[in-house]
Amino acid sequence: METSSTAFGQAVRRWRDGVHPEDVGVSVGGRRRASGLRREELAALAGISVDYLTRLEQGRATSPSAQVVEALARALRLAGPERELLFRLADLAVPGPTTVPRRISPSVQRLLDRLEANPVVVYDAAWDLLTANAAYDALMGPTTAWHGIERNGLWRNLTGAETRVAHAPGERDEVVAGLVGDLRMTAARYPDDPHVRRLVATCRAASPQFVTLWDAGDVGAAEVALARRKVVEHPAVGRITVDCDTLVVAGDDLRVMVYSAEPGSDDAEKLELARVLGTQSLAVERTHRSGRTP
């Protein structure tokens, strides 16, 4: 008898087999046994482990979170009825206007594809990381190993998670204040979103700093979270100063953060070197994990 988890896994596998790698920014090298996406390729695009994707496709993992389902729908470029079906098969309500949008629309995805040479990361209005391109992972370190609350930008700054960004004294506190202010506005826009309520409760339980900022109700520092220059300590290239411009997609309430450096500058050369070295390293790592020889 077919269960909902089995149907969900079969649907993911069917859509994976039907996706052309070039359409989702996956370079094709050498001979391939199938025209669709490999399992490790979809896992990387969705930011989940290959093992978890395998269990989902085989019906051995049940009750995937809305975040995982949205990530898979985005990676598979599902929209409209197909995206809705994936949520229904996971026994989840389709996100509506009362919850934080976690969907990257096809038009925004086309924009991201055009920016693939720049490090780009996309957050939703609750500061959950939705997707990061290969150039971003090359600059900042791999994000695919982050799961659950580890993918929340506020939580990472609040708890002092490892980062390649070199903060000046007091700078991280300013970033946290800005993120808390922005989250407060998000909570006001989406008062019925259970994920936002859980995030606030988790941060309150873990951080007196968050409690103080949240209870103060100040949103004046929210813009600090949206625009700044950053200094990155790259392990192979050294210190790189980059501009970080945040594009807010109003209709989808997304934050698209694009990193760049002045053309012709030393920082631009370092940024390009970091991108080349990092994407090569990530490709080798994915090949190693899949058991193939390059």
Which tens digit of pLDDT belongs to each residue from 19-37? 888 877 776 666 666 678 9
- Indicate whether 196 and 146 sit together in one domain: yes
- Indicate whether 256 and 112 sit together in one domain: yes
Q: Rounded to an integer, what distance in angstroms lies between the CA atom of residue 49 and that of residue 238?
A: 30
Domain enclosing residue 75, as ranges = 4-94
- State mean pLDDT over 50-71: 91
Pairing between strand 129-132 and 120-123? antiparallel
The reply to whether 221 falls in a domain is yes
Residue 25's pLDDT is what? 74
In the chain, what percentage of residues exceed pLDDT 70? 88
- State mean pLDDT over 111-121: 93
> Is pLDDT at 251 greater than 70 in this prediction?
yes
- Indicate whether 131 and 221 sit together in one domain: yes
The reply to whether 205 falls in a domain is yes
Number of domains in the chain: 2
Residue 24's pLDDT is what? 77
CATH number of the domain within which 47 lies: 1.10.260.40
Q: Rounded to an integer, what distance in angstroms lies between the CA atom of residue 62 and that of residue 217?
A: 39
- What does the block give as tokens for 146? 């982050």
> Is pLDDT at 135 greater than 70 in this prediction?
yes
Q: Strand, coil or helix: what is 178?
A: helix
- Indicate whether 115 and 257 sit together in one domain: yes
> Is pLDDT at 278 greater than 90 in this prediction?
no
The reply to whether 20 falls in a domain is yes
Examine the fold and report which residue of 42, 72, 94 is the final residue of a domain before the chain moves on.
94
- Indicate whether 165 and 86 sit together in one domain: no
The reply to whether 293 falls in a domain is no
Q: Rounded to an integer, what distance in angstroms lies between the CA atom of residue 228 and that of residue 60?
A: 44
- Indicate whether 200 and 69 sit together in one domain: no
The reply to whether 203 falls in a domain is yes
- Indicate whether 127 and 50 sit together in one domain: no
Residue 294's pLDDT is what? 41
Q: Which of 145-159, 210-224, 280-294 has the highest average model confidence (pLDDT)?
A: 145-159
- Indicate whether 135 and 9 sit together in one domain: no
Do 89 and 66 meet the contact criterion of CB atoms below 8 Å apart? no
Residue 282's pLDDT is what? 55
Examine the fold and report which residue of 70, 94, 118 is the final residue of a domain before the chain moves on.
94
> Is pLDDT at 98 greater than 90 in this prediction?
no
- Indicate whether 84 and 37 sit together in one domain: yes
- Indicate whether 185 and 73 sit together in one domain: no
- State mean pLDDT over 147-162: 93
- What does the block give as tokens for 270? 């370092």
Examine the fold and report which residue of 41, 62, 94 is the final residue of a domain before the chain moves on.
94
Q: Strand, coil or helix: what is 248?
A: strand
Residue 203's pLDDT is what? 97
The reply to whether 180 falls in a domain is yes
- Indicate whether 130 and 219 sit together in one domain: yes
Q: How many CA atoms, within 13 angstroms, populate the side-chain half-sphere of residue 153? A: 27
Q: Rounded to an integer, what distance in angstroms lies between the CA atom of residue 179 and that of residue 126?
A: 9
The reply to whether 134 falls in a domain is yes
Q: Strand, coil or helix: what is 275?
A: helix
- Indicate whether 136 and 247 sit together in one domain: yes
CATH number of the domain within which 199 lies: 3.30.450.180
Categorize the per-residue pLDDT at 201 as very low, low, confident or very high, splitting at 50, 70 and 90. very high
Categorize the per-residue pLDDT at 171 as very low, low, confident or very high, splitting at 50, 70 and 90. confident
Residue 34's pLDDT is what? 67
The reply to whether 277 falls in a domain is yes
Mean pLDDT across the chain, nearest whole number? 87
Categorize the per-residue pLDDT at 293 as very low, low, confident or very high, splitting at 50, 70 and 90. very low
- State mean pLDDT over 230-242: 96
- What does the block give as tokens for 139? 């600059």
